[in-house]
Amino acid sequence: MFNSGIPEIDRQHAELFKILNRIKKYINTDEEKKECEIFLSDLKEYIQYHFAFEEKLMKDCNFYDFKNHSDVHSDFINLVDEAIIDYKLTGILQNKIIVFVEDWFTYHIEVEEELFKDFLVPRLFSSSGKTPVS
Ligand SMILES: [Fe+2]
Ligand SMILES: [Fe+2]
């Protein structure tokens, strides 16, 4: 899954899954409340950082499906916001939320990002092998 051909994007995707795995360890434990609050703010912050990074690349390369892909990002941020509100109201961060985020990213990376990967990679990497993205 982490083989888009754009190393920085792959690194960020791996980091997202690392954050998700970290929180999974705390669900249903005594530290859940404390750790989940940290997790949710870390997760949202990192997702926003990642989406902004991708959107800049897409814009810089005039990606033809930019609007659609960034709308998908915005819709997902809204869902994360709803999960955070729900967590604050109930105090319960259920495993299903984590599974939902994992599934969303897996589908997004493997299916929805295929389009931009094919479009961006040849535009980002010159024949000299140098990359503007490190
Ligand atoms: Fe991504
Ligand atoms: Fe994306």
Q: Which ligand is nearest to the CA of 76?
A: 2
Query: Of the spans 34-48, 63-77, 110-124, which averages the highest pLDDT?
Result: 63-77
Residue 132: is its pLDDT beyond 60?
A: no
pLDDT at 98: 83
**Cβ contact 53:11 at 8 Å:** no
Å from CA of 29 to ligand 2 middle: 32
pTM: 0.87
- The mean per-residue pLDDT over the stretch 40-49 comes to 91
Topology classification of domain 7-123: Four Helix Bundle (Hemerythrin (Met), subunit A) (1.20.120)
* Non-local CB neighbours of 103 within 8 Å, separated by 6+ positions: none
Report how far ligand 2's centroid is from the alpha carbon of 119 (Å).
13
Query: Quick one: which ligand is closest to 46's CA?
Result: 1
Q: Report how far ligand 2's centroid is from the alpha carbon of 98 (Å).
A: 18
66-108 confidence digits (pLDDT tens): 999 999 999 999 988 888 888 888 877 667 778 889 999 999 9
Contact call for residues 103 and 131 (beta carbons, < 8 A)? no
Q: Domain-by-domain residue ranges, the chain?
A: 7-123
